[in-house]
Structure 1
């Protein structure tokens, strides 16, 4: 495995990994704050950088069945949330390709 390079973001409010402060996304990519993760409040984002995606798995969630991948910080390997690969309910299709980040694993880095 080669060296991993991290992207640095610019904008109003930058969210980073709470352990190592690696940039992950900005407030302009936020779609919704009305989500729950495994450990409390979570946010839905359109774009997230500096992550590694795990293997896909099917999960039954409160909004139905989804195929998701856990996502990890590229620097410290902290589990940050998950990415939606597939939503099986028509009303949940807007989540496909989007990311959930758990609020308690984020910090403002700017």
Structure 2
């Protein structure tokens, strides 16, 4: 049985199962859009399963991305930027887009 970590910082968790997904300290931007609407860009995410990578045409260009899912309940949360083909978008590489509708902010 895995131990549950105790967090001293605000964090975001899965709306369905409350599995911790990302720390507030890893939030890079609140100005993104995803399938269900507004989304956040995080530099790091935890307790997620990364799916198969694929090239996808998004609003700011073509990227190699992989959908991400909650490791506890399997809810699709957003995607991970694997590769940006446009040099001006390289800052997104390795980042995680997580849909606001899929997470809760906890303290």
Smaller-chain TM-score bracket: over 0.9
List alignment gaps of at least 5 residues for structure 1: none
What is the CA–CA distance in structure 1 between the aligned matches of 2:93 and 2:29, rounded to whole Å?
14
| 18, 22, 25: which one aligns with 2:22 | 25
* Counterpart secondary structure, 2:94: coil
Match of 1:77 in 2: 74
RMSD: 1.5
Distance in 2 between the 1:14 and 1:53 partners? 20
Asked if 1:90 corresponds to 2:87, the answer is yes
CA distance in 2 between counterparts of 1:31 and 1:85 reads: 16
Once the 2 structures are TM-superposed, how far is the Cα of residue 8 of structure 1 from its aligned partner?
3.1
Q: TM-score scaled to structure 1, two decimals?
A: 0.91
Q: State the match for 2:8 in structure 1.
A: 11
Q: Unmatched 5+ residue regions in structure 2?
A: none
State the distance in 2 between where 1:83 and 1:7 align: 24
Deviation at 1:7, TM superposition (A): 6.1
How far did 1:10 drift? 1.8
Residue in structure 2 matching 1:65, options 62, 65, 76: 62
TM-score (norm 2): 0.93
